[in-house]
Structure 1
């Protein structure tokens, strides 16, 4: 776990200031652990695929290295081999940015008013942390205000 304060800047600003590498909100190998648990459960239930929501913005600058195409490929191989070639990993959003994902959700009627991405952990999104800023910008790119703010 990081002892760093959560920056109230977009991830693009953070990467521009600090260069490539993980951001303060990165939890080491979190997606690896969650995917591994999902694989164990899914394989025991007979599933032939597992999906996870990594996307291009989180992979940018290796801010979240467990969201990169390389990580996805390695985990897909591990799951496929570890399941006796019965199950694989899918990452349908891997090459989409947040604005494209918001657009997809809007087209599908996703209930965005019930979701948020804030790292501050309050009863409402803070609107100031990197993920709040990037989410609000993704909605703005689609001509819509973020309904969570």
Structure 2
């Protein structure tokens, strides 16, 4: 039987690629998604459809109660989602305090209970400017903690930590993935806005790969 791993799966293009990367690597993934009160909750619907199609066990866990503790983000509070690229300081309003440490901690607990050896998540270099919990030093420290936090060591795996979203898309296209099955926009409306940092970075990745994004935009 192949090695069992947990994949933190938001339904976005990065985690979609990571999920398929785990499959390509011969792993048996268990997908874990979180409802943390994000305004773009429709990403969870995309995640559920993909997991059903691939016959991958999938849990969606409601942790929205944490917003009484970790507010102040444009993704969860009544704050306008900023427009512009991730390199711009305004995008700091999309930071959810301590989000990845919280999600990784729960995913590691799930891994231990399922006898899984690794937790995969989709941090990449494009996130480094704005999100401290996507930076290499954070991943290294989390790995140190997860090696000793339980009787069983669990490894945090970030296949794309040092590369851009453009490179992630390149690898996904190599695997023949359909990115119409993913949702990226921080505004959870019917169509993607095309203006927020998440949309702009996604569209840039498609342009760099000389491809057309299959999503509809406003």
**Normalised by the shorter chain, which TM-score bucket?**
0.7 to 0.9
Which sections of structure 2, spanning at least 5 residues, go unmatched? 1-70
The CA distance in 1 between the partners of 2:131 and 2:191, in whole Å, is: 24
Aligned pair 1:65/2:132, yes or no?
yes
Task: Tell me the equivalent position of 1:40.
Answer: 109
For normalisation by structure 1, the TM-score amounts to 0.88
Of 55, 64, 82, the match for 1:7: 82
For normalisation by structure 2, the TM-score amounts to 0.61
Q: CA deviation at 1:123?
A: 2.1
Aligned pair 1:84/2:151, yes or no?
yes
- 1:76-122 per-position Cα deviation (integer Å, ceiling 9, x unaligned): 11111112353211111101100000001111111201212110111
The CA distance in 2 between the partners of 1:26 and 1:83, in whole Å, is: 29
Aligned residues: 141
Task: Tell me the equivalent position of 1:115.
Answer: 182
Q: Report which of the two has the higher share of helix.
A: 1
Cα root mean square deviation, aligned: 1.5
